[in-house]
Structure 1
Amino acid sequence: MYEYEIYQVDREEKLRVSGAGMLNASWTCNVDEFGIPDYITKAGGMLPGNNGRNERNLFGDYDLDNFPTNEGRFLKLESRLLIEKQRLNQFKTYQPEENNAEIDYEDFNDLLFVRRDVAEMYTDEELKVLKNRKMVNEAIEETEDRIKLMENKILPFYNQKNNVHPKFEILLTKRKGNSPPVVLERVNYTGDLHKAGENLMKFMFSNRRHAIQVTTLGVYPKCSTQLPHDLKIRIKNLKSRGEGPLELERLSQHIDESSYPLEIVDIEKHSFDDIEDLIHKICASCKVLILNGNIDYVLPFLRFLKNQKCTLHFDVILISKSKPSLNLYGIGWKPTNLLAIPMDLKYGIRKNTVPKSSTLLKMK
């Protein structure tokens, strides 16, 4: 797999600063001189979240505390990071009651993930979920990784405060499977990742006599790069991640006719609000169509699909006394006497409780 991304290179471990966000699912195309992502710059420099709405903050938390100023939001992030470090110390000093108990990953995940949006220390009762040393060590590792991500997220704002200008480069890398990426080319970053990407592809692929063989082509609607006009590719699979129009007609101009029908087209986006994408030749003719997103947007389009196989992935949480937090994937299984809650409402839910919401669905 070939990728090109922006990295901060003047540190011991290179830090990727473009692409998909690891905490708040944001997408970054470019960064400014301090490393602040373009989606924040375009918002006038205001940090996301803490605006009284159901919006993730920089760390991916749905924190409903309202701070109208950037300074207030920044201080809240600092306090949130401090609490995460205090939680880490709780794990490091905790002594489990048993050593051979089986791991209850349901409760374990509730402890590590659901309560992350509640900025407070763990109670003694909650820590009892960690029944053995293995679970404690996993909690320590998970929390250390999260703290590292949080520190990297907030770093550009310390750079801005202290007038520190990091060094950024665009790295073209090649990776096979799960092996570490190998750097093929380094390019100075001048503020436009798209333009640099176009130049790299022209350098690598222009004036080819035959179509380039690609197993899986990954596209990102929010960060689309113009392919060289004479580039032809022969692909098996297409993956799209993120919101925005897929621009399949423009993409199809570069796909060699021998590619059809594609084996798998995998689309992940919140809102499937454009039927033109799903009935386009690329989607309509593929052998397997996979749609990941909000089920409310997907279901109205099902009657238009003519693929050999279509798989829908959506996520709800089922609340009951016996299984208070059960994830359900896919369509076809209809449990009885359970209440289905959209995934967006997961955070903040407590066991054996049902939040008041008009969006709850009764499954029969």
Structure 2
Amino acid sequence: MSSIRPWRDIMRRKSRQIMVGNVPVGGDAPITVQTMTNTPTEDAVATIDQIRRCEDAGADIIRVSCPTEEATKAFAKITKAARVPIVADIHFHYKRALEAADAGAACLRINPGNIGSSERVAEVVRAAKANGCAIRIGVNAGSLEKDLLEKYGEPCPEALIESALDHIKLLQDHDFHEYKVAVKASDVFLAVAAYHGLAEAVDCPLHLGITEAGGLIGGTVKSSIGIGSLLWAGIGDTIRVSLSAEPEQEVKVGFEILKALGLRTRGVRVVSCPSCSRQGFDVIRTVEALEARLEHIKTPMSLSVLGCVVNGPGEARETDIGITGGGNGKHMVYLSGVTDHHVQSDDMLDHIVELVEAKAAQIEAEMSDAGQAEAAE
């Protein structure tokens, strides 16, 4: 499709690839979606329960804070139970990094310059190498080093980039190269400018995020603008949408950003109208119900839900399944872009769910057959 629609092409920045557990990050690997738990890590049961919800939402990588020795003891249980790689979030205490690496962390989120002496950095690097851990350097505009704030006067792109390069050098001095970097800020303009500058200065994978973005609605908007614009420019290998909301919501928003840019597909992509007085059924309530009832579908596919025939037929031609509102409670169903049959209002919701589930099963069967045929060759 992109060959005949060049205006849709996104040329991704070339970065070297690292491994976070069994998940490749960077290079030509799919852009991964991350989130972070907010339960007390010491409560392994609650943390694992939250991880399960995030895994079900599609999270590729999940970060867990390890601020105490008790947390890293529970961390071992958590990593064993998780189905995706777990990143240990470490701030100032280097021993927590050593413990987390031994406890099964796939990656350590740590700024080498914040943990003290070169000897401590060397210890962390040795632990990371011994346990096959990657490291994420996480520069944040809200916690820049004092010398950089004195030098630049305020958080600015140059300060974030310099901080990142200083931390990178500490790892490179110890011959460690399995790292990715983030330069986050709550200010969209600051974060985007910093990422653009860093992307030109380094070849490592970049972890994108607009930190402290806000609640579900405000944070989604800010993150979509910031992360979306960077991805559109080809920058970014892994993302986290930072919301004051449940972590599984961060995962869902992250996938919606990637789906909107055509960078990844997962689950049902819904095309729906904002509704107006022409609608033949309650579009808003119908879409809300469909999104809830179709959350279990992981197969990539598209569904259009339009309240009337003004734009409905055109949108339905571009989706796997579509429905447009008609008069007298009778609505047109489209399959693969072609008018197929009518459905009454009372039966519409259940009928659409059944059609989507059947289409998902068909797609999965076709993919399985294609895989078996390729393996046979």
Q: Which TM-score band (shorter chain)? A: under 0.3
TM-score, normalisation: structure 2: 0.26
Which structure: greater helix fraction? 2
TM-score, normalisation: structure 1: 0.26
